[in-house]
Structure 1
Amino acid sequence: MSDSDQALLARCAAIGTSTWADAMDTLGIAGVTQGITRRAGLGRIVGFAVTARHVWGELGDFEKADFAVGRLVAATGPGRVLMVDAGGTCISTFGGIASLAASKRDATAVVIDGACRDVDEIQATGLWLASRHVTPLTGKTRLRLQAMGEPVTIGGVEVEEGDLVVGDDTGLVVIPRGRVDEVLVAAQEALAVDERVEQSVREGMSFAEAAAAANYIPASTGAGK
């Protein structure tokens, strides 16, 4: 990863997903995933998307080698967030051993629009992982790796290789790589407003007064309006 990319990630890591979501709202960008829940890991993660797509079927529809979880693990690393589109199916893409292997590669995070299993083992590795489902059902002979590096859909959000991904206790957002600089400026402005409102409240001002003073939420002009 280049020095400029590392510096960008460091700047982005200071901003929570709620603020990113507000910034994207102001710019008309839909980037907040829905239905994806963190299962393991702590704190905020920031990285660039590495995309993969699994297709699913019944037990025995595919060869075990088609699962190709080793290719998924090999795509992880520092500053990378593996984004796996499994069509939301309740079949496990990642388990304890794969998570251990990813953690050994210093993976930033794994996000699955599908399922994981062995949650206790994943938590023990320290890997930051989020998924739509948790199930003991294996992906072997049920999942086939269809593509890597192509656009995918995660939690209703279109994700392309290299997009910025931010995750924390509140949720997960995806910022298109070509608009990161623009959204970052808007996010920093939104963060500054939040901090002004918070400081005013700490100093004794009412929320309504503090919000109005910072133009966070303008004062009401009258009942019913």
Structure 2
Amino acid sequence: MTINDRPTGWPGFEDVDAYTMGDAARRCQVGGVIDGLKPQTAGSGFVGRALTARVEYHPNTPLPLGQYGAAALLDRVAPGDVVILDGGARFLSAFGDLAITIIQRRGGVAAVVNAAVRDIEDIDPTFPLFARGVAITSIASHGFITGVGEPVHVEGIKIETGDLVAGCKGGIVAVPAGAADEVRRQSLEIIESDRRVREGLERGESMGSLWQQHKATGGAEPQGR
């Protein structure tokens, strides 16, 4: 999958990968990177608009599975959305193949689960699905989905519905909606600076001189992007 083939739900970021966006967000001192959630499918690159919810967990109170409340979240999914479900980083499955199928069919571009997932063998391998891992035991027997559209905090990063979210094999980048334009501008500057470095290397210029030019434009130290 090339960068232009990634699921995207935010115009203007078609040519910006999550690695570059993370660098740009750090420059702008906005948002943050979530390193602990990794792709569970082959699909990893995406960019879109956050739709948030969380799981309220009661470990000592068994709950009927019919009270999990996933429909309240899944019925809100619109084209371009990235579903962000905060399961409190518990290694219990919060989503399975049915939920992911609904998200995908409603035009969602990715799902990010701060918990585990299940049924991975039956999920479209091209759909970007991020989680803490794969588990059999469901969180639904002791928890329910609530707070649809309310802010969540994942690894200390605040994510609100409508925020810019991107993913890659390295993890997740979240940027407040109001900072998206500035992060895009910074991202394009980084991409252009990297392009000049690559062209210089092809011409046989030294890495030292190119690095000085790269720093002069505010670029991060070249790492082979």
- The question of whether the paired residues in 1 share the 8 Å contact of 2:197 and 2:214 is answered with yes
Change (3 A) 1:69 1:55: same
Residue 217 of structure 1 and its aligned partner are, at CA, apart by 6.4
Deviations 1:165-194 (A, max 9, x none): 111233210110011111111111122111
Q: Give yes or no for contact 2:30–2:179 (8 Å, CA) kept in 1.
A: no
Q: Which runs of 5+ in 2 are unaligned?
A: 1-7
Shift of 1:46: 1.2
1:87 aligns to what SS in structure 2? strand
Q: Which structure has the larger Rg over C-alpha atoms?
A: 1
Matched, 1:172 2:161: no
Taking the aligned partners of 2:95 and 2:109, their CA distance within structure 1 comes to 15
Q: CA RMSD in A?
A: 2.2
Deviation of 1:8 after TM superposition, in Å, equals 8.2
1:4 matched to which residue of 2? none
- The C-alpha deviation readout for 1:133-175, integer Å capped at 9, x for no partner, is 3211113322211211111012331100100011123321011
How far apart, CA to CA, are the structure 2 residues paired with 1:127 and 1:93? 17
What is residue 45 of structure 1 aligned with on the other side?
46
Deviation at 1:43, TM superposition (A): 5.1
In 2, Cα distance between equivalents of 1:80 and 1:35: 21
Aligned to 1:137: 137
Identity %, equivalent residues = 27
Following TM superposition, the consecutive aligned residue runs of length 4 or more in structure 1 with deviations greater than 6 angstroms are: none
Match of 1:89 in 2: 90
Residues in 2 aligned to 1:51 and 1:23: alpha-carbon distance in whole angstroms:
23
CA distance in 2, matches of 1:147, 1:155: 18
2:119 maps to 1:148: no
| TM-score (ref. length: structure 2) | 0.85
TM-score norm. by structure 1 comes to 0.85
1:92-151, Cα deviation, whole Å (9 max, x unpaired) = 111122222222223211101111011111245x32110123211113322211211111
| Distance in 1 of aligned mates of 2:220 and 2:53 | 41
Amino acid at match of 1:55: E
Question: Secondary structure of 2:12's match?
Answer: helix
Q: Which residue of 1 aligns with 2:183?
A: 183
- The DSSP-based 3-state class of the residue aligned with 1:29 is coil
- Per mean C-alpha deviation after superposition, the further-off stretch among 109-118 and 169-178 is 169-178
> Which residue is equivalent to 1:67?
68
Query: How far did residue 14 of structure 1 move?
Result: 0.9
CA displacement, residues 12-67 of structure 1 (integer Å, 9 cap, x when unaligned): 12111121111112122241112000112525211110000102233753232331
The letter of the residue matching 2:100 is S
SS at match of 2:48: strand
Specify whether residues 136 and 217 from structure 1 end up closer, same or farther in structure 2 by C-alpha distance, changes over 3 A only.
closer
Partner of 1:109: 110
Query: Residue 29 of structure 2 corresponds to which residue in structure 1?
Result: 28
